[in-house]
Amino acid sequence: MTILVTGGAGYIGSHVCKTLHARGYRPVVYDNLSHGNAWSVQWGPFVQGDIHDFQSLSAVIEHFTPIAAIHLAGSIHAREATLLPHSYYYNNVEGSRIFLQALVENGICHVVSTSSAAIYDATNAYGKSKRAVEGMLDDFAQAYGIEYASLRCFNAAGADIEGKIGEAHPKETHLIPLAIEAALGKRDHLAIYGDGTSLRDYVHVSDIADAHVHALEHLIAKKGSLTVDIGSGRGHTVWDILHYVEKISEKKIPYVLQPKINESKRLIANTAMASTLLNWQPQYSELSSIIQTAWNWYTSQCCHCSS
């Protein structure tokens, strides 16, 4: 059973593909490699292409005949979105529109779409564009009969338990890898914005991948469209993260306090609907497990591979 995965060469996407393969599916990755890595495509065919290319998307669907799609392609950095809102509406909204149109016109009626907890704190083009995509999914469902699962993922973190893939962005912006890099001496210090006490929900990337497959199977079983939070259901501060990284690394992390940014003090997933509707529960999202797997990846893998 073939599944088309846009953004499948990225951090979450590669873990989704690994989980799909383990469950007996064939993931076909469609990615332009603007944020992904070719070396992370290990569990199925890879087609390099742009989400805005309707003809290319249609050709891939015609050639591989997927039974459903998982849509992860898009721009994801909230602070960048404040500076480059045009890029976020182009990639996230217009790209999703073209992708959904390609699905509809080629007879694919099931799609799992990766949304974000940023819709709850939509102060920039990232959260607003993700909210717009959710509205678009609902409109397409009513007009064209597609069924969708929109997964509002909280802060993806950690790395593959087996160490085969992990986080490797061209420009890292996520707290845990930045803290690990500071502990390893790869950066002078860690920048902390505000007082570091805001509570955030960190969920292991493998748990997010598992949720995508549960959502896919929910749709294949014709159980209807849904929108759910995907997180651990627990909140942690920046200081909690530093404590665990320092404990694992046995190093003190130098940090510099920066001016507070405009964000909510508490953003934690409500996992009840995911548990009830998808029979999904996080398995690896204890903070100690998240940071240990991330540390293992950074210290034992070439996470800046160019091959």
CA distances (Å), origin 288, targets 239, 248, 284: 14, 9, 9
C-alpha 237/C-alpha 241 separation (Å) is: 7
Q: Which one from 11, 25, 126, 244 is the annotated catalytic residue?
A: 126
Beta bridge partners of 6: 30, 71
The phi and psi torsions of 64 (rounded to 5 degrees) equal -95, -15
Closest CA to 61 of 13, 24, 100, 113: 100
Give percent of the chain with pLDDT exceeding 70: 98
How is 92-104 classified by DSSP, letter by letter?
Answer: IIIHHHHHHHHHH
Q: Is 304 a residue whose pLDDT tops 50?
A: no
**Which residue in this structure is represented by tokens 């995965």?**
5
Q: Which has the higher per-residue pLDDT, 305 or 115?
A: 115
pLDDT over 90 at 70, yes or no:
yes
126 annotated active-site: yes
Look at residue 300 and tell me whether its pLDDT is greater than 90.
no
* Domain definitions of the chain by residue range: 2-300
pLDDT tens for residues 155-203? 999 999 999 999 988 788 899 999 999 999 999 999 999 899 999 999 9
pTM of the model: 0.95
CB 19 within 8 A of CB 209: yes
Q: Is it true that domain 2-300 has CATH number 3.30.830.10?
A: no
